[in-house]
Structure 1
Amino acid sequence: MSHSCIAAVTGANKGIGLAIVRNLALQYPQSSFNNGPFLIYLTARDKTRGQDALKSIQSDSALKKARALAQDGGLTTVKYQELDIADDQSINSFANFLKKEHPDGIDMLINNAGIAEQGFHPEMVDTTLKINYYGTLHTTLALLPHLRPGGRLVNVSSMAGKLNKYSPTITSRFRAARSVSDITTLMQEFSASVHEGRHTEAGWPSVAYSTSKAGVTGMTRVLAREVSEGKVEGVREGVLVNSCCPGYVKTDMTKGGGAKTPDQGARTPVMLALGELGGKTGEFWEHGEVSQW
């Protein structure tokens, strides 16, 4: 079967990622993207967990009631595909798979995969940055040119990454960044300062997760500018690039302490993928609205 619209969701075997897949399927029929059959790639690094997540989607009572899935007469087909954003080879393999299977491109990429570990020490900082920042960046750069005209890139960030935890100098450097390399330099300096035991005096907080998400928001912001100015080779016309906070969601990542359900957390990412944005790009969104970073 050929599909009129194609999406990929990273880190989708549980929590917000799985809820994003579920709500894409539920909301696609009423969206402006609906021009026929819809295919969603549910990606995860672990095959067993990914396939279990796929089974949960296929047996989901709300999806069955809405007849959202093709197996029940609806428009959406969900498939599992392996992707580990901590592994460059896995990212490249996934990108090559999509280019082979869909040479005309896909319509939306939602980068949801990420980690939030307890504690604060150099190795944990490096692991957090490797996945949350560099993994998201590499996946974005590998697939951004494969988005069709009018496509959507959504990077799931966090309000924890807002610029209220840094020295005035670092804050101004985040805001003044004009290229992805400017943001990457900041991430490198954060890591180096932690390893050298001087991050506090250098103006950084003792929190790896929030700093990695500041990087994601900043990277998304400057990347959108580079895309709109034609500085990113191969990106097609009208692609919108945004980041968002899903809110404080009750998931394994928050150790069950969240205030929102995963479905509630999926609302803003799904809106950025399927909704009418009025051409807005390079913005940070919360609660379905543009928010101050």
Structure 2
Amino acid sequence: MPYTHVGAVTGANKGIGLAVVRQLALQYPKSALHKSDPESQGLLIYLTARDKSRGEAAVRSLYEEDAQLKKAKALKKDGGWADIKFHQLDIRDTMSIRGLAEYLRGEHGEGAVDFVVNNAGIAMDGFDNNVVKTTLECNYYGSLEATQDFLPLLKPNGRLINVSSIVGKLNKYSESIRSRFLNARSVEEVTALMEEFKAAVEAGKEKEQGWPSAAYAVSKAGMTAMTKVIAREEQDRGGKRLINACCPGYVNTDMSKHRGSKTPDQGAQTPVMLAIEEIGGASGEFWQNERVIEW
């Protein structure tokens, strides 16, 4: 079955990621993306997850149990515009990232994907060397590799959205570290900051050296900085792809231990907007509540 538009959402078997998939299917018919092509054959969304059985179960739940999708008749089986397929992806695994990239390239061709919403991430309890290394491996290094591998798959006007967090704001760092984040001009500079944080934690001197004792927060600061750098590189080479970071807010999910004040569908609104709506060509920004905010 042909599709005019193709997108992928990582870490989407539950929580915000699953809500992003649902809202993409619901909002696509009235979106700027759909309206951009009056001959549209619809949207194919790849729901990706680390665990195959959970990912496939999530797709089944959307097709068989989701009341919003059924009521709106959003899926093609009901006469709508969207289809959803599962593909395995673990962003901590280089071969898994490359496997999805090669699959998308083989199925749809180079430069044929409209958007990728990179939502996959972890939040661990406690704070020690292992927590820091594991968190950075997924949230920073895995997201960086996914961003670099998926970017060439995007259409010339495609979108890449990295789901970061407001806890990665720079108000808890020394002025020198904050300045280095804000003035980073290469991925290598951002990665150097992540490595310095790991070394500081290993030495037990992170606070002394100007870092917060917070693995998740630093990983998200790195994600936002990396996203801004890659967006600038895209612009410098004359590219038109829009690359942004966003915070979904404090959402009631497993990651927040269900303490969040937002529903997953509410948290999905900003990444969905960045994927399929008109945003005035904005790139390299940090967004929350559907607007650019100070990082």
Q: TM-score range by the shorter chain?
A: over 0.9
Match in the other structure for 2:42: 37
Measured in 2, the distance between the counterparts of 1:95 and 1:196 equals 38
Match in the other structure for 2:266: 264
Measured in 1, the distance between the counterparts of 2:147 and 2:47 equals 16
The structural deviation recorded for 1:36 is 2.5
Whether 2:152 is the aligned partner of 1:145: answer yes
Aligned residue identity for 1:4: T
Aligned residue identity for 1:221: K
1:51 maps to which of 31, 56, 70: 56
Measured in 2, the distance between the counterparts of 1:204 and 1:120 equals 13
Whether 2:268 is the aligned partner of 1:291: answer no
Please tell me whether the aligned partners of residues 2 and 41 of structure 2 are also in contact (alpha carbons under 8 angstroms): no
TM-score normalized by structure 1? 0.97
Point out 4+ residue stretches in structure 1 off by more than 3 angstroms: none
SS of equivalent to 1:187: helix
Greater shift in the superposed pair: 104-113 or 13-22: 104-113
Aligned residue identity for 1:259: S
Please tell me whether the aligned partners of residues 234 and 240 of structure 2 are also in contact (alpha carbons under 8 angstroms): no
Aligned residue identity for 1:177: A
- Equivalence map 1:39-188=2 (5 Å): 39-59=44-64, 60-104=66-110, 105-188=112-195
Aligned residue identity for 2:153: H
Unaligned runs of 5+ in 2: 35-39
Whether 2:15 is the aligned partner of 1:15: answer yes
- Equivalence map 1:183-198=2 (5 Å): 183-198=190-205
Number of equivalences: 288
CA RMSD of aligned residues (A): 0.9
Unaligned runs of 5+ in 1: 232-236
Q: Deviations over 1:42-98 (max 9, x none)?
A: 000101100110011102111111111011111101000000001111001111111
Aligned residue identity for 2:29: P
Match in the other structure for 2:251: 249
Q: Percent identity?
A: 56
The structural deviation recorded for 1:180 is 1.2
- Equivalence map 1:229-240=2 (5 Å): 229-230=236-237, 237-240=239-242
